[in-house]
Amino acid sequence: MKLTRRNLLIGAGAGLVTGTAAPALAQSGGHEGHAMPESAPLPPRRDGGKVRTLNGWSLPHRMVGGVKEFHLVAEEFEHEFAPGSKALCWGYNGGTPGPTIEAVEGDRVRILVTNRLREPTTIHWHGLILPSGMDGVGGLSQPKIGPGETFAYEFTLQQHGTHMYHPHADEMVQMAMGMMGLFIIHPRGGDHVDRDYALLLHNFALHPGTRRPDPAVMQDFDLWTFNSKVFPAIEPMVARTGERVRIRVGNLSMWNHPIHLHGVQFEVTGSDGGRWPKSQWRREVTEIVGVGQMRDIEFTAVPGDWAFHCHMSHHTMGPMGHDIPNTLGVDQSGVEEKIRRMLPGYMAMGQDGMSEHQDHTDSGHMKGPENTLAMMAGKGPFGNIEMGGMFTVVKVRDDLAPGDFSDPGWYRNPPGTVASRVSTDPAYGAPVRRKTT
């Protein structure tokens, strides 16, 4: 069967390719004329580098003739966005995003890329300074990596900073299916932070009841993700009081995201161009990360549980219907009964807002479509958090041990520091109101 985009989308997918193809020869780096050595399999590890990738890991390397050699595998797998929502996605080494590559400025790196998809692919090293033939644009700077083939990319790292990798072949489909990863280059002289976190912003169109992302959607997405996870499945970021924390954020979604951190004024210290001179740092509480951009933010941790999220309100929600009537203020008591005769189990909502949605879904009263998450989710120490999508928590504690990344549970607020009820009377007090004519 001829491989076409239509065949791909309706289910040909990215199955495993049997057999072993000869590796393509690198066009530079002294490997023309002989095959690349095979890498011994290395197990995934969460502490594979200096950076903590939320819900992810850093890719181990091995030294071959003074070169740091990594091995990426493009393939299909089942991915869980959060409990109750799984999809057949594409990515690298069994995950989306793929494993984070960490190296040091000045390193010579070789990255083997094996294609176990059923269509050609490439990898573009987003933001890296390298030879044109290693840039990864299929048809322009290299031949595409065919199914079953392994190509080698080899270059010397001439910079430092937070960067990304993703395909530049059938890009609309492959990125929409989850193919992306982080490439972090540490400065040769080092820099000091106590905690170093990294995440990629992305989006998926997983229509209700389906099991494959839809690559034809441009903006109206169901799932807005940090590292291909949605709240409450996104790991918290933890720190000890007074530690210096860096969060590296890259955006490979189809939208710009104003990323907001509660509790501190952070400093924006770097971008696609690497770490900025200190004279260029600026204080913010919200930083827009544009499509295809990177931003590094740093702050000194203060105790508490602090929200970290996109400030686009729909991006911190789970799947929702966008083309529905506005029912705010509408008495639906009679309509609900009539609709229920045709649609058993129907529940009217939205007359006074949508706050009751999570109670209904958590209790099982409102069963959603198969393999589809609720619009609101997550519970905190004071009740429903009513979030989803691009949302997680920065948890800072006085007694957290250095290097301890375990979840410390919810923050115990000192007495007298929690907002509390003073009345249940809606006519309480004498607030000043604007006069109306």
> pLDDT per residue over 238-251, tens digit each?
999 999 999 999 99
| Domain annotation covers residue 382 | no
Amino acid of residue 362: D
Q: Which of 333, 348, 371 is the last residue of a domain?
A: 371
Q: Both tokens of residue 16?
A: 């495993």
Whole-angstrom Cα distance, residue 398 to residue 355? 34
Mean pLDDT in residue range 60-75: 97
CA atoms within 13 A on the CB side of 167: 29
Q: Which of 191, 210, 229 is the last residue of a domain?
A: 191
| Domain annotation covers residue 325 | yes
Q: Which residue has the tokens 């004498």?
A: 430
**Contact (CB, 8 A) for 292 and 251:** yes
Contacts of 79 (CB under 8 A, 6+ apart): 86, 87, 88, 89, 91, 95, 96, 178, 228
Whole-angstrom Cα distance, residue 376 to residue 8? 33
**Contact (CB, 8 A) for 242 and 301:** yes
| Domain annotation covers residue 313 | no
Question: Per-residue pLDDT tens for 89-129?
Answer: 999 999 999 999 999 999 999 999 999 999 999 999 999 99
**Contact (CB, 8 A) for 292 and 265:** no
Which residue spans within 17-100 are E strands per DSSP?
Answer: 52-53, 62-64, 67-82, 85-92
Q: Can you spell out the DSSP letters for 164-210?
A: EEE--SSHHHHHHTT--EEEEEE-TT----SEEEEEEEEEE---TT-
| Domain annotation covers residue 264 | no
| Domain annotation covers residue 409 | no
Mean pLDDT in residue range 139-160: 97
| Domain annotation covers residue 279 | no
Question: Into how many domains does the chain fold?
Answer: 2
**3-state class of 120 per DSSP?**
coil
Model confidence, pTM: 0.84
- 321: pLDDT confidence band, cut at 50, 70 and 90? low
**3-state class of 106 per DSSP?**
coil
- 322: pLDDT confidence band, cut at 50, 70 and 90? low
CATH number at residue 121: 2.60.40.420
- 6: pLDDT confidence band, cut at 50, 70 and 90? very low
Whole-angstrom Cα distance, residue 368 to residue 371? 8
Q: Calculate what percentage of the chain has a pLDDT beyond 90.
A: 68
| Domain annotation covers residue 397 | no
Question: Per-residue pLDDT tens for 253-281?
Answer: 999 999 999 999 999 999 988 899 999 99
Question: Per-residue pLDDT tens for 404-414?
Answer: 999 999 999 99
| Domain annotation covers residue 410 | no
Query: Residue 45: its pLDDT value, please?
Result: 35
Query: Residue 169: its pLDDT value, please?
Result: 96
Domain span at 361:
320-371
Query: Residue 47: its pLDDT value, please?
Result: 37
Q: Which of 136, 161, 191 is the last residue of a domain?
A: 191
- Is the per-residue pLDDT at 20 higher than 50? no
Q: Calculate what percentage of the chain has a pLDDT beyond 70.
A: 84
Mean pLDDT (the chain, rounded)? 86
Whole-angstrom Cα distance, residue 294 to residue 273? 9
Question: Per-residue pLDDT tens for 328-384?
Answer: 777 887 887 888 888 887 777 767 666 666 666 766 666 777 887 777 788 899 988
Question: Per-residue pLDDT tens for 30-53?
Answer: 333 333 334 444 334 333 469 999
**Contact (CB, 8 A) for 42 and 60:** yes
**3-state class of 103 per DSSP?**
strand
